[in-house]
Chain A
Amino acid sequence: MPAATRSPARRTLGDRLFLTALIGLPLLALLLFVLLPALASVALSFTTWDGIDLAGIDWTGVENYTQILTNYPPFWPAVAHNVLWLLFTALLPTPFGVFLAYQLDKKIRFTRFYQTAIFLPMVLSLAVVGFIWEIIYDPDTGLLDSVLAAAGTGAHPDWLGDPDLNLWAVLVASAWRHTGYIMILYLAGLKSFDPALKEAAALDGANGRQTFFRVVLPALKPVNVIIVVVTVMESLRAFDIVYVLGGGTGSKPGMELLSLLITDNIIGESGHIGYGSALAVLLLLVSLAAIGAFLAQTFRRQDT
């Protein structure tokens, strides 16, 4: 029977059951494993709970939130660090990754080698990345301090131990990874770029800069959206590399981040599930606001 003659009304009971199962079960899984835990976190954020006995859950209203906002010393530094992380990542490694992609897209020699080399940090497991940077930053035998000593400077910075320095040390390590990631994303976009547009720009007398900013960048809008979203998300959920370089025991002075404060309170021997959940809800709200605002703005402009 040709498919075209089948109208929706003539679906058999079996068809309907099959479709229901096909859509319903994944939906159920999504509910069970994603939405329900998220809602449970929101509910738990209004309670205190040690994570052991369900009877130990006590309703405390917005107490956790007022405590966090008014009486939690690491909270505002963590917010500031997250913002700094976002600004740093958006202003340095992201444009640099785009720049590298643009350069490597020109048929220069050894371009494959450069691409691989720059993307390599992204391929390495995070434990390895952490280990590499620990070796670089070590105060006794580390590469950086050894070079400084060999150069005859008296300075002997404690890169990961000094609360005024360690966030920057970690940001450099993170930028090292992020640049390669952005480069690969943008390079993929550039490969699909129509070279005729560039030729037309050149014929009209545009120089390299003008070609990039007036022609290439606007034409690659979908890729730009992805890159901005990736950068914002990576900055807000920044966790792993700080955790590894901080010794894997939670937040350290100078390197507090919202994500680390959440694990501080939830993981460990005496959990404060309610308090940690409230922090998680705050992070969720910030993330939703940032990404939502950006996406809404982008797609509204596209519709008109």
Chain B
Amino acid sequence: MTQASRTTPAAPGPGRRSVAGGLLGLGAAVLATPLLTACGGGAGTDPRTVTFGSNGADATPKSAYAALTKAFTADSGLKVKTNTVDHDTFQKSITSYLQGTPDDVFTWFAGYRMEYFARKRLCSPLDEVWDTIGDGFSDAARQLSRGADGKYYFVPLYNYPWAVFYRKSLFAERGYETPATWDEFLALAKRMSRDGLSPVASGYGGGDAWSVLGAFDYLDLRANGYDFHLSLLRGETSWTDRRAVRVLDLWRELTPYYQKSGGGRSWQDAAQSLLDKKSGMAVIGLFLGQQITDDEIRADLDFFPFPEVDAAHGQDAVEAPTDGFMLSRRPRNEAGARKFLEYLGGAGAEETYMGVDPSNLAVHERADTAPYNALQRKSAELIAGAKHISQFADRDSDPGFISTVVLPGLTEWLGHPDDGTGTLKKIESQRSRFFTA
């Protein structure tokens, strides 16, 4: 034993009790910390600052939102504190986020998904904001921004269409022609398959299962029409309805032409195979453009609307999801937040955003479309010519129903696309849990 340790008991240092007491105090302090910080969250409001929760975590949207907030600060003198969260994480935690101390203004999606939070009163109505910005938007955009109670809850920023994308040079080389009907589409896919291409790019692995919904939505819209599609997604129609069965029957005709091993591939890798001319076509949204870094390829990219299945519905519906902003239920800087939303609902804001991220389209009617590239111009025409605009299955429906019931069902079916009725029966068995009348 050393000299030092032998003298310890007699030393007038801290006694056993004070050490234990100290540890106890420390423990209590640690336990109390979350309570204290939870209380502190509400304080410290700065009337010169608006907080903004953004799901634009990828490089392109992130710098586009940064350009927006910078322009707003220069315009109004109000600072914007942006809190960026990964896109998927943002969506998964949205319910607890909105119930805690959310940012004043946050990014969100139009459609059922917006109405849900309006119904649960987790966001604030925006009728006064719309008094200022309202005359810049079409009736369709206004409709999208209102909740079930007729009040406005949403300020749209941009939308983008889903379609069948392809490379012009590949089609020219091989003499392919863009198909207008389902039969022509299948014939083209068959030809591509003979030519050694993967006809339809496919990547729904990992967290990208949603990407299969584009084909599902369009087949339903084309075969059964917009009204049936919406009632199916909103849980008002049985999923075992023969019209739903027909959608899977049609889809089954296309599945042999899907790129192999789609269940283990990311949508980005699938998109890359289209850009590399290994796949012939891809059913995807205009956001595909965010993958492109080479302007030559961007100029070579084109799309055609999803082909017609039933002449009664033609190609009258376009899937064009709309992204925008909402106001949280108790914003800390309400006046500033409303000012920010009025700015975001103006033509200038949309031009600023689209200047950085050219893979989207302005919703504002007076936004300048002169700087649009060819693809954006064609997209704008496609949307303008549509009789119905749908938002995408996970936005037109209960997102939990889609992600925990419909997507597992459809992706499992895509692996062995034979027993469509069995898949639909499984989906139907869960419908009432999500949609109670």
Task: Give the distance in Å from the alpha carbon of A272 to the alpha carbon of B120 in the complex.
Answer: 14
Of A73, A248, A269, most B-chain CB atoms within 10 Å: A269
Q: Which of A71, A140, A246, A254 has the most CB of B within 10 A?
A: A140
B400 lies within 8 A of A271 (CB): yes
Select which of B24, B116, B409, B411 is within 8 A of A269 by beta carbon.
B116
Chain B contacts of A140 at CB under 8 A? 261, 265, 269, 273
Q: Which residue of B lies closest to A142 (CB)?
A: B264
Residues in chain A near residue B399, CB distance under 8 A: 268-270
Tell me if A189 is interfacial: C-beta within 8 Å of chain B.
no
Most buried by A among B120, B122, B208, B401: B120
B24 engages A50 (CB within 8 Å): no
B284-322 Cβ-contact flags toward A at 8 Å (1 or 0): 000000000000000000000000000000000000000
The residues of B that contact A82 with a CB separation of less than 8 Å are none
Residue B209 contacts which of A159, A249, A270 (CB distance < 8 angstroms)? A249
Cα A157 to Cα B434 in complex, Å, equals 35
Interface residues of A in 19-67 (CB under 8 A from B): 21-22, 25-26, 29, 50-53, 67
A162 at the interface (CB under 8 A from B): yes
CB proximity of B15 to chain A, nearest CB, Å: 12
Whether A248 and B207, one on each chain, are in contact in the complex, defined by CB atoms closer than 8 angstroms, is yes
Q: Which of A18, A52, A160 contacts B264 (CB 8 A)?
A: A160
**Interface of chain A, helix or strand or loop or mixed?**
loop
Contact residues on B (Cβ < 8 Å of other chain), bracket: 35 or more
Q: Which residues does B use to contact A, with CB under 8 Å?
A: 17, 20-21, 24, 27-28, 31, 88, 91-96, 99, 113, 116, 120, 122, 204-209, 260-265, 269, 273, 398-401, 403-404, 408-409, 411-412, 415, 426, 429-430, 433-434
A269 and B95: CB pair below 8 A? yes
User: Do residues A247 and B263 form an inter-chain contact, with CB atoms below 8 A?
Assistant: no
C-alpha gap A200/B21 in the complex (Å): 52
User: Contact at B264–A249, with CB atoms within 8 Å?
Assistant: no
Pick from B27, B261, B403, B412: contact of A250, CB under 8 Å: B403
In the complex, which residue of chain B has the Cβ closest to the Cβ of A268?
Answer: B400
Are the CB atoms of A253 and B412 closer together than 8 Å? yes
Residue of A nearest to B113 (CB): A269
A158 touches B403 (CB 8 A): no
**Which A residues are CB-close (under 8 A) to B31?**
29
Determine if A137 is an interface residue (Cβ-Cβ < 8 Å): yes
Beyond A73-B429, A272-B433, list 20 extra A-B contacts (CB 8 Å).
A18-B21, A25-B27, A25-B28, A29-B27, A51-B95, A52-B95, A52-B120, A73-B426, A138-B269, A158-B262, A160-B206, A164-B415, A249-B209, A250-B403, A252-B209, A252-B411, A253-B412, A267-B93, A268-B91, A270-B399
CA distance A52 to B329 in the complex (A): 13
Q: Is the CB of A67 within 8 A of B411?
A: no
Q: Is the CB of A270 within 8 A of B116?
A: yes
What's the nearest-Cβ distance from chain B to residue A216, in Å? 37
Give chain A residues whose Cβ lies under 8 Å from the Cβ of B88: 248-249
Q: A158-B263, A252-B411, A254-B412 are in contact. Are A267 and B92 (CB under 8 A)?
A: yes
B27: chain A residues within 8 A (beta carbon): 25-26, 29
CB neighbours (8 Å) of B207 from chain A are 246-249
Minimum CB–CB distance from A105 to chain B (whole Å) comes to 34
CB of A50 within 8 A of CB of B120, answer yes
Which residues of chain A in 126-144 are interfacial with respect to chain B, using CB atoms and an 8 Å cutoff?
Answer: 134, 137-140
Q: Which residues of A contact B95 (CB under 8 A)?
A: 51-52, 268-271
A249 to B411, CA, bound (A): 14
Bound Cα distance A50, B398 (Å): 12
The 8 Å CB contact of A253, one of B113, B401, B411, is: B411
Can you give 23 contacting A-B residue pairs, CB < 8 Å?
Answer: A22-B24, A25-B24, A51-B95, A53-B120, A74-B408, A134-B206, A156-B261, A161-B204, A161-B205, A161-B265, A162-B264, A163-B415, A247-B208, A248-B88, A248-B207, A249-B207, A250-B403, A253-B408, A269-B94, A269-B95, A269-B113, A269-B116, A271-B95
Give the docked Cα–Cα distance between A246 and B28 (Å): 39
List chain A residues, Cβ under 8 A from B91. Answer: 268-269
Measured CB to CB, the nearest residue on chain B to A70 is B429
CA distance A72 to B427 in the complex (A): 10
Contact across chains for A247 and B206 when beta carbons are under 8 A apart:
yes
- Among residues of A, the one whose C-beta sits closest to the C-beta of B422 is A73
Report yes or no: A67 in contact with B433, Cβ–Cβ below 8 A.
Answer: yes
- Asked if B20 and A22 make an inter-chain contact with CB atoms under 8 angstroms apart, the answer reads yes
Given known A247-B207, A248-B207, A252-B209, contact A160–B403 (CB-CB < 8 A) = no
Q: Is A264 an interface residue (CB 8 A)?
A: yes
**Bound complex: CA of A245 vs CA of B429, how far in Å?**
28
Whether A251 is near chain B, meaning CB under 8 Å from some CB there, is yes
Q: Which residues of A contact B205 (CB under 8 A)?
A: 139, 160-161, 247
* CB-contact partner of A139 in B21, B264, B430, under 8 A: B264
A268 touches B404 (CB 8 A): yes
Give, as a whole number of angstroms, the nearest-CB distance from A288 to chain B. Answer: 26
CB distance from A123 to the nearest CB of B (A): 25
